[in-house]
Amino acid sequence: MNEPYAATTTELLANNGAKKAPAAFRAILGEKIGMTQVFHPKNQNLYDVTVVKAGPCPILRVKTVESKDGYNAVQLGFGPTKEKSRSKPELGQFKKAGVVPLRHVREVRVADPKGMEVGQTVTLDGVFKVGDYVDVQGVCKGKGFAGVMKRHNFKGLPASHGASDKQRSPGSLASRRSLGRVMPGQRMAGHLGATTTSTIKIEVVQVDLENGLIYLAGAVPGPRGGLVTIFETVKNKKFRTDVVKSAAKKDKMGNVVAGKSPRSAANPGAKK
């Protein structure tokens, strides 16, 4: 974390005239704080969670199909920064939206931008709640130059029978002598990591509205202090549903037994 974010949710809302984005817009930018453990409020199991400082995110621009952009999208900003860190065109965009200079600007596609206006603010309150499933997108950690065993999960060559320093080599590259070249897409050693990655269907375990923190089950892409984008999941199941077990007793055939144990009901003549 290079610099703490000075502006709080209350300050940004005050600067923007306390205008909130529509509740139908379910996406927010955040900063990955780190990982910890909390007890799940439903089953009281201990969960490994990632803590994300989410929002506030002012809306800097709204793109529509009817405009010259040709598609529907919303530009969000996150993380106040100094003016000297941004270019003059960017400062002009921030001034037009009526917000302070921001460190991160990301664009989110939407199906219908109706009700969204420049200057509105997306906050954690009302966007996500405990039990929701979300998708988290970020830039994963860079690993540098990596071999094929680390990069592509190669098994490696045998370490016996006279093999010398060949255990981690990739093996043969070309397919046949007549081809005379290596085919495109051949898995080889190279740069690993530092790519945009999405983790799908993560459960929201806890939400701290006072501090603007959201606790997500499991790991999310990126290092501590990295920018992540949290969306509503693309999967059909959007939130957690708890299965309630029935207290009624049933026999082997699945028939409900009232006042008797399943064994005695199945064998009426059995000795007690």
Q: What is the pLDDT of residue 201?
A: 92
CA atoms within 13 A on the CB side of 249: 11
Q: Which of the two residues, 36 and 11, has the higher pLDDT score?
A: 36
Looking at residue 264, its amino acid is S
Which of 39-53, 60-74, 114-128, 254-268 shows the lowest mean pLDDT across its residues?
254-268
Q: What is the pLDDT of residue 252?
A: 79
**Model confidence at 259, in pLDDT bands (50, 70, 90)?**
low
What element of type H or E holds 97? helix 88-97
Q: Give per-residue pLDDT as tens, 166-185.
A: 888 888 887 666 777 888 88
Distance CA 120, CA 30 (A): 17
**Model confidence at 195, in pLDDT bands (50, 70, 90)?**
very high
Q: What is the pLDDT of residue 263?
A: 53
Query: Does pLDDT of 204 surpass 70?
Result: yes
The pTM of this model reads 0.76
| 211, β-bridge pairs | none
How much is the average pLDDT of 64-76? Answer: 90
What are the b/e assignments for 211-248, b being 16+ CB within 10 Å? ebbbbbbeebbbeeebbbbbbbbeeeeeeeeeeeeeee
Looking at residue 177, its amino acid is R
Q: What is the pLDDT of residue 23?
A: 80
